[in-house]
Amino acid sequence: MNLPELDPYFQSLTDITDTISILNSPYESEFDSDISKMENFLNEIQSTDWLATEKEYFNLFTSHFSFHIKIVEEIVREAREILDPERRIHVKRLVGYCKTTEEWLADLQKRRRATETLATA
């Protein structure tokens, strides 16, 4: 399996997230395009067989990805405080993204623990 080096891999996700973070500013951006890039990144991540990776690699991946989810949640929280009506649709889309990513990651970690339990039994 060809696995990416995680720091540069997640740097590209951080770059996308940084462009989305201006949702809470008066500046304009291509929010639909940026959120789509983030969703595409998620689809790519979901296509990887994380259950077959080494434990250390898996833990580093989940750490990076958990941090990403928290950053997006913070963007949403701030956007709800400001709530520019013109950007409401983007906030709703980010809320859906957070829900999807949290559920997927929790399920992945649960399946990983079950796999590790079976391997040691």
pLDDT of residue 28: 80
pLDDT of residue 121: 56
Query: Is there a contact between 69 and 103 (Cβ–Cβ < 8 Å)?
Result: no
* CA-CA-CA-CA dihedral for 33, 74, 45, 27, to nearest 10: 20
pLDDT of residue 42: 95
pLDDT of residue 23: 84
pLDDT of residue 5: 85
Closest CA to 10 of 83, 87, 65: 65
**What Cα–Cα distance (Å) separates residue 15 from each residue in 20, 23, 38, 119?**
9, 14, 10, 37
The whole-number mean pLDDT for each consecutive block of 10 residues of the chain, a chain of 121 residues, reads 76 91 84 94 93 91 95 93 86 96 97 81 56
- Domain residue ranges in the chain: 53-120
